[in-house]
Structure 1
Amino acid sequence: MNGSHETEIRELMKSYFDGLYHSSSDILRTVFHPDLAYVNGTTGNYEHLDFEEYMARIDARTPPASRGDVREEIIERIAFKGDRIGIVEARMTMMGRNYQDLLTIINTDDGWRVLTKVFSFVERKA
C-alpha cells in the first residue's frame, strides 16, 4: 500500500498516544472523526460513548503524564483496504492497565481520522 498513507497513520498514532498520555482533548480532536464510536469491550465493563462524551471523559481525567506514569505503546499492525479505509491494531499501557485497541480509520478531506475505537484492557500485575 501507499507508503505515504502509512507515514500519515504513524503520525496520527503519535498524536493519539500523546493525546491519551496528556489527557488532551485538543490533541485528540485532531485524531478522532466527529462521528466516533468509542466501545469498551472489556468483560464486565462494556460501554459505548460518542465523540463528545469521550472528549468530556478525557477532559475530566488526571493525565497519566502528570503522575509520571511509565509510557509504553506500540503499533502492532496497520492495514488498508484501498486508499480510504483501514485498521490499526495497537497496545498501550497507562493508568495501571494494559490496553488493546482496534481502531478503524477513514481518509477524510481533513486527512486520516479514527472512526471507531474498540478496546479492552487488563489490570497490570504489580
Structure 2
Amino acid sequence: MTPAGLKQVGALMEAYFEGLHQADSALLRKVFHPRLAYVCATEGDELYLDLETYMARVDSREPPAKRGEARKEEILEIAFASGRLARVSARMTMMGRDFHDLLTLVRYGAEWRIVAKVFSYVPRKD
C-alpha cells in the first residue's frame, strides 16, 4: 500500500484509540462504518452488536480518561489486501482489561472505515 494509505489508516487508528479512551461516540462514528459488526469473542461473553447498540453502550460508560486511566495501546500489524480492504491487529488496555482487536477496514467513499471489530479480552494483570 502507499505511504498515504498507511498515513490514513494510522490517523483512523489514533481517532479509534482516542474515541475509546474518551468514550466519545461522535468521534467513534467517524471511524466506524454505518453497518459495523461488533463481535466479542471472549469465551463466556460472546456478543454481537450493530453500530447503534454499541454507540449506546459507549455513551453509557464512564470514560477511561475521566477515571484517570492512561492510554495504553499498540498497533501490531496493518495489512492491505487491496486499495479497498485492510486489516489491523491492535492491543489496548482499559477498564481493567487487556484487549486484542482484529479490525477489518474498507474504503467508504474517500475514507477508510472499520466495518468489523472482532475482539477478545482478559482481565488485566497488574
Instruction: Specify the TM-score bucket, using the shorter chain as the normaliser.
Output: over 0.9
Structure 1 residue 70 displacement after superposition: 2.3
Q: Could you tell me how far apart the structure 1 residues matched to 2:112 and 2:122 are?
A: 29
CA RMSD of superposed structures (Å): 0.7
Question: What residue in structure 1 maps to residue 59 of structure 2?
Answer: 59
Give the CA deviation at 1:36. 0.1
Q: TM-score, normalised by structure 2?
A: 0.98
How does 1:1-16 map onto structure 2 within 5 Å? 1-16=1-16
Gaps of 5+ in 2: none
Q: Distance in 2 between matches of 1:54 and 1:95?
A: 16
Q: Which residues of structure 1 form unaligned runs of 5+?
A: none
* Displaced runs of 4 or more, over 6 A: none
Kindly provide the amino acid, as one letter, of the partner of residue 52 in structure 1.
Answer: E
Partner Cα separation in structure 2 for residue 90 and residue 96 of structure 1: 17
Which secondary structure state, in structure 2, belongs to the residue aligned with residue 64 of structure 1?
coil
Matched residues in 1 for 2:91 and 2:27: separation? Answer: 19
Number of aligned residue pairs: give it. Answer: 126
Matches of residues 62-101 of structure 1 in structure 2 within 5 Å? Answer: 62-101=62-101
| TM-score, L = length of structure 1 | 0.98
